[in-house]
Amino acid sequence: MVLRKKEKSYALFSSILFCIVFLFLSPAELTYVFNYEEIKSSLTDPHGVLMDWNMAAADPCSWNLITCSPDNFVPSIEAANQNFSGTLLAPSIGNLTYLETVLLQNNYITGNIPPEIGKLMKLKTLDLSNNNFSGQLPSTLSHSKSFQYLKLNNNSLTGTIPTSVANMTQLILLDLSYSNLSGPVPTLHANTFNVMGNPQICSTGTEEECNETHPKPKSLIFSSSDPSDGGTINQKFAVQFGLSLACICLLIDHSLALVFI
């Protein structure tokens, strides 16, 4: 019984301590606790640019390749052209919920693309091009509705393009060229997409489905600050005029009622 009480007390103390840490650490510090070790340890860093990613660092916002917002959130990791090799084994990267930009192009990173990237709901730009990533495209990438630029070209990806990618209608650019992907290719709604250089999809590179740019649709809604926005201004004027006229009619009606009382 004494041991059980001690175990319960220890569990309670641990829970309270975790809550205190969670409440008082800044978002950047939480990022520091959850992510630095696994990302750093999985990559080979020939130039030592990740050396300051350690527990001795007073503030993760001072790390190389990390950009922090004024609120100490981490919206950007920009690590292109660093000659990194190894793998991107980073399951807890999904905890970086404020990430908007991840740039890891022009390195030598191998292995699979972490499916946890699909948890990054604010991610707008992901560039893993010109690496040695292999395996299939994670279908979880379509979970994020903020994606605008997705560049995975010049890798060794295999398998088919997930049909869920066809649902990523918010994409401005999708580049899956020069890999080992196979067909069939789902209907892609990105403004510009490129799947050239995948021998099992584009054997000659001239197929229509290999590379296409859709013209951006013209917006049907104009900004009120646009000087050419005559339609919106006229609509506002018409509404204001109508309301004014209605008020005048009510006042006249009320005045006549008082006269005949």
Instruction: Note the pTM of the prediction, 2 decimals.
Output: 0.69
204 pLDDT above the threshold of 80: no
pLDDT at 92: 74
Alpha-carbon gap, residue 55 to 107, rounded angstroms:
26
Instruction: Give me the CATH topology for the region 20-213.
Output: 3.80.10
Contact 98, 121 (CB under 8 A): no
Q: What is the mean pLDDT of residues 250-256?
A: 46
User: Can you say whether the dihedral through the CA atoms of 67, 69, 71, 77 is positive or negative?
Assistant: negative
Listed residue (82, 39, 30, 34) closest to 59, CA to CA: 30
What is the pLDDT at residue 15? 42
- The residue ranges of DSSP E strands in 51-202, in sequence order, are 66-67, 76-78, 85-87, 101-103, 108-111, 125-127, 132-135, 149-151, 156-160, 173-175, 180-182, 192-194
Is pLDDT above 50 for 22? no
pLDDT over threshold 50, residue 85? yes
Task: Provide the residue ranges of all domains of the chain, joining segments of one domain with +.
Answer: 20-213, 222-261
Percent of all residues in the chain with a pLDDT value above 90, rounded to a whole number: 37
Q: Per-residue pLDDT tens for 140-197?
A: 999 988 999 999 999 999 999 999 988 898 999 999 999 999 988 888 888 999 999 9
